[in-house]
A and B are shown apart, each in its own frame.
Chain A
Amino acid sequence: MQIHISPSDGVPIYQQIVNQIKYLVAAGRLPAGEELSPIRVLAEQLLVNPNTVARAYRELETAGIVEKRRTAGTYVSDQGSPLARRERVKILTGRIDALLAEAQHMDVALDEVLKLVQQRYAAMESTRTEE
């Protein structure tokens, strides 16, 4: 877990931890089911008060990004964090906009584009089952 703390930044330290873990989850560098560093370990690594790390983990838990499991560990949530999902949708939206703009440019109707998308999906699925 690559986190960097800068007290001179002004942003409260727990908030810096929250922001950076959110980013790592959205970027896929902390995948669902991955265990976060234990509080004491991260506190020593970042040289911050363990209570500060505990507070950051609580905030992430409230936001549904991580969850506590029976054995005291904290894990990235399974149901794909809402944030990571939003990020993914954002990326795809950009691609779709580009595709639609190109289709319009080449005078291909929306029905045809959708049909093409489904065809390509079917083709991809069939090659995958063959493997």
Chain B
Amino acid sequence: MHESFPSSAPPILELNRVTRRFGTKTALDDISLTVPRGGVFGLIGGNGAGKTTIIKHIMGMLKAQSGSVRVFGLDPVQNPVGTLGRIGYLAEDRDLPNWMRVGELMRYTQAFYSNWDAVYAEELREAFDLDINARIKNLSRGQRARAGLLIALAHRPELLVLDEPLSGLDPVVRRDILGAIIRTIADEGRTVLFSSHLLDEVERVADRVAIIHQGRILLTAPMDEIKETHRRMTLRFGQPHDRPPSLIGTLSFEGHGGEWTYICNGESSQLRRAADAIGATVVGDAALSLDEIFMSRILS
């Protein structure tokens, strides 16, 4: 448990002005991102936003065409040994060797990690209800996800990188995986980076998020701050307006006549003062879910 999150320790992960093109398509456009040590960092964005491309740069599977990537202060492409051994990784496609049995997968993976914890691995296997003799190719989607998470966790990595760990899973397995992520957060010093488009789940577990859209970062901040600085304000005006009178920090609006509802970037007190200044009466002032904040950000 980290009472003093975010810590003052150097960041575990730093992307500095990374740009990546595939042919004529710009997948990442001048991305800068800092992930502090400890806590859970959520990368959120729709399909094709660039989440997986960011993760592949972190894992050293792609080399930055411009800009730099540092994991534990090291370049993951030049120093795979110093970085990969300290990362637990669950790929989006959960690419596991189909011909192996669960027990073989565990022994095989163990060989790559000097700090593999065989007792913990066995505990996870039992908790995830995985048959040691089951063939990988016969596992259900949920079991595959659990097997992937097992081999990502069993060497107790400092950094856990999960690419869409919850997508394509039924609610029961999602609970399982989410529970496993929550258990690992409590471990001392662990940092979790996970990408997702399931924003209810991100809101439950992330301390910090970055919103990615079309290869750019639209917003990155602690979850509490994001929640505090986005409001839905409904204002009544003395006379009808064809268009909503402008209010600071407006991301989107709807309404007509004398009543307009704004999705705003700003704190409640600040927005109330601004409403007062344009002669409006506040008739609604509510917090937004991360999902609503995300939608208003990518559409504005």
A-side residues, CB < 8 A to B, are: 5, 7-14, 39-40, 43-44, 46-51, 54
| Smallest beta-carbon distance A27→chain B, Å | 25
Inter-chain contacts of A51 with B (CB < 8 A): 1-2, 5, 39, 185, 207
User: Given that A43-B186, A49-B182 are contacting pairs, would A10 and B205 also be in contact in the complex, using a CB cutoff of 8 Å?
Assistant: no
- With contacts A10-B292, A11-B287 taken as known, whether A47 is within 8 angstroms of B204 at the C-beta atoms is yes
The number of A-B residue pairs with CB atoms under 8 Å apart is: 66
Interface residues of B in 197-220 (CB under 8 A from A): 199-201, 203-207
Residues of B within 8 A of A (CB): 1-3, 5, 39-40, 175, 178-179, 182-183, 185-186, 199-201, 203-207, 224, 227-228, 232, 286-292
Q: Is the CB of B182 within 8 A of A48?
A: yes
B40–A49 touching, CB < 8 Å? yes
- A contact residues around B224 at 8 Å (CB): 12, 14
How far apart sit A7 and B178, CA to CA, in the bound complex (Å)? Answer: 15
Query: Please, could you name 10 A-B residue pairs with CB atoms under 8 Å apart, sorted by A?
Result: A7-B291, A9-B289, A43-B186, A49-B182, A49-B185, A49-B204, A49-B205, A49-B206, A51-B185, A51-B207
Contact among A5, A10, A39, A44 for B179, CB-based, below 8 A: A44
- Overall SS of chain A's interface: helix
A39 and B1 contact, CB distance less than 8 A: yes
Q: Find chain B residues with CB under 8 A from A11 CB.
A: 287
Residues of B contacting A9 with CB < 8 Å? 289
Residues of B within 8 A of A47 (CB): 175, 178-179, 182, 204-205
B-chain residues with CB within 8 Å of residue A8 when the two chains form the complex: 200, 289, 291
Report the bound CA distance from A21 to B205 in whole Å.
Answer: 20
> What are the 5 tightest A-B residue pairs by CB atom distance, in nearest-first order?
A10-B287, A7-B203, A7-B200, A48-B204, A12-B227
How far does the alpha carbon of A51 sit from the alpha carbon of B224 in the complex, in Å?
Answer: 11
Determine whether the beta carbon of A12 is less than 8 Å from that of B287: yes
A48 to chain B: which residues have CB within 8 Å? 182, 204-205
Q: Could you say which of B182, B201, B203, B228 contacts A50, with CB atoms under 8 Å apart?
A: B182
Distance to closest chain B CB from A9 (angstroms)? 7
- State whether A50 touches B179 (Cβ < 8 A): no
Interface centre among A47, A49, A54 (most CB of B within 10 A): A49
The answer for the CA separation of A49 and B41 in the assembled complex, in Å, is 11
In the complex, how many angstroms separate the beta carbon of B60 from the nearest chain A beta carbon?
28
Given contacts A9-B289, A44-B179, whether A50 and B227 have CB atoms under 8 Å apart is: no
Q: Is the CB of A49 within 8 A of B207?
A: yes
In Å, the complex CA distance between A12 and B224 comes to 8
Kindly list chain B residues whose C-beta atoms are within 8 Å of the C-beta of A5. 204
CB distance from A59 to the nearest CB of B (A): 12
Interchain CB contact under 8 A, B207 and A44: no
Q: Which residues in A have their C-beta under 8 angstroms from that of B1? A: 39-40, 50-51, 54
* A-side contacts of B289, CB under 8 Å: 7-10
